[in-house]
Amino acid sequence: MGLHAPALEERSAPVHEARGQRTEGQAREMVDAHGARRYTASPMNERDALLAWFDANARDLPWRRTRDPYAIWVSEVMLQQTRVETVLRYYERFLARFPDAHALASASEDDVLSMWSGLGYYRRARLLHAGVREVVASYGGRVPDDATSRRALPGVGRYTAGAIGSIAFDREEPLVDGNVARVLSRLRGIDTPLGRRDTEARLWDEAEKVVRGPRPGALNQALMELGATVCTPSSPKCLSCPITRSCVALASDRTDVLPVAKARRAPREVAMVAVVAHDAQGRAMMVRGEKALFGGLWGVPMREGRGAKTAREALREHAIDARLTREPAGHIEHVLTHRRLDVEVFVARLSSASAGTASASAGTGARAVGADDLASVGVSTLTRRILEMSDLTISRFQR
């Protein structure tokens, strides 16, 4: 009947909330001779089936080992539009450096961005920083358990507010992320395009209905976990799904067409020039961009356009006195969600008069960054690639 999960080869670590009460909603579990967990498929509603499945199959993730609202907040921001496997490389290091709200609030933005370097969507880090500073300033460093106050924090949208509320505070607050949208679209047979007003309203409405009851944090995570591991975008593993009984998409054979994705815009091609102006010690001049793209990060002078002339303009824009040493070192294709950057990389040698001195760029905020400094400044992956191509002590630039 496909109503129960496959026996597990090995016990995955069940995750129980610290205050999670195992009450009426709990599935009856049995452990067979091989130690594998099964759960009965008998009269269980969706919530109970989801919770039982989650208890047996939840991945053991570091942010599931805490109920600290701050830590959960950090994880949720990192996970925005970012895969679990990627976040794993950042989360614990970030928390080790900024163990609580006060630590993060008192850190410089450079420090925060250096910890975020490579993770992408850097505005997240700046908003998290601002949000945590507000929590320290207005709430004594405690993340507000009041939903309205939480939602008003910078960088905390509807999803993140619901995640913190349900997971950290055990509140019956709904959340809809990409996973939940897919699961609920299929479960309820919602066939209007994602992103449309009515679709979103319907999804949040369904999410709110589902989350009502015991263990809202586990329930929300169960929906996301199911979407991430079973109810996947392509080839969903319906044989392993605990809630096939009520799935409209499965019943109507539409798992492959739901949800209906919104149309995507083609990325815009952008020709750019980057200049690695270095001194004799191999330090490269870097500037901080405040524009939307890579805002707050350090990078080598860059400019839209092509050729040596554009490269010199990029240097002049930052009052950097350097001489282009050769033909372009090469091209880098860097693909973002909405742009495809074709970056022509030039190398330039700082003039001896200005090399290594603050006067090299007085007033423009440019600074010489060496390999040893790179770990402490926020740079994009594109910048790392540019430095790599420029042939400057590559290995020492690695993260």
Partner DNA sequence: AAAGCGTGGAC
Partner DNA sequence: TGTCCAAGCTT
For DNA, give the closer residue by CB, 297 or 322.
Answer: 297
For DNA, give the closer residue by CB, 8 or 61.
Answer: 61
**Nearest-approach distance from CB 364 to DNA, in angstroms:** 21
76-81 contacts at long range (C-beta below 8 A, 24 or more positions apart) = 76/159, 76/160, 76/163, 76/164, 77/124, 77/125, 77/127, 77/128, 77/155, 77/160, 78/119, 78/124, 80/121, 80/124, 80/159, 80/160, 81/121
Q: At what angle do helices 216-229 and 46-57 cross, to 10 degrees?
A: 70
**Nearest-approach distance from CB 221 to DNA, in angstroms:** 6
For DNA, give the closer residue by CB, 340 or 367.
Answer: 340
**Nearest-approach distance from CB 127 to DNA, in angstroms:** 6
The residues binding DNA (CB under 7 A) are 61, 63-64, 75-76, 79-86, 118-124, 127, 154-161, 163, 177-179, 182, 197, 221, 224-225, 227-228, 233-235, 261, 264-265, 268, 291-295, 334-339, 380-382
3-class DSSP state for residue 224? helix
Q: Which residues pair with 299 in a beta bridge?
A: 287
**Nearest-approach distance from CB 89 to DNA, in angstroms:** 8
- DSSP codes, 32-93: -TTS-EEE--TT--HHHHHHHHHHHH----GGGS---HHHHHHHHHHHTTS-HHHHHTTHHH
Question: Do residues 92 and 62 touch, judged by C-beta distance below 8 A?
Answer: yes
Asked about 290 being catalytic, the answer comes back as no
Q: For residue 297, how many other CB atoms are within 10 A of its CB?
A: 25
Q: Which residues pair with 332 in a beta bridge?
A: 343
For DNA, give the closer residue by CB, 160 or 361.
Answer: 160
For DNA, give the closer residue by CB, 76 or 321.
Answer: 76
Q: Which of 10, 24, 29, 76 is catalytic?
A: 76
* Residues designated catalytic: 76
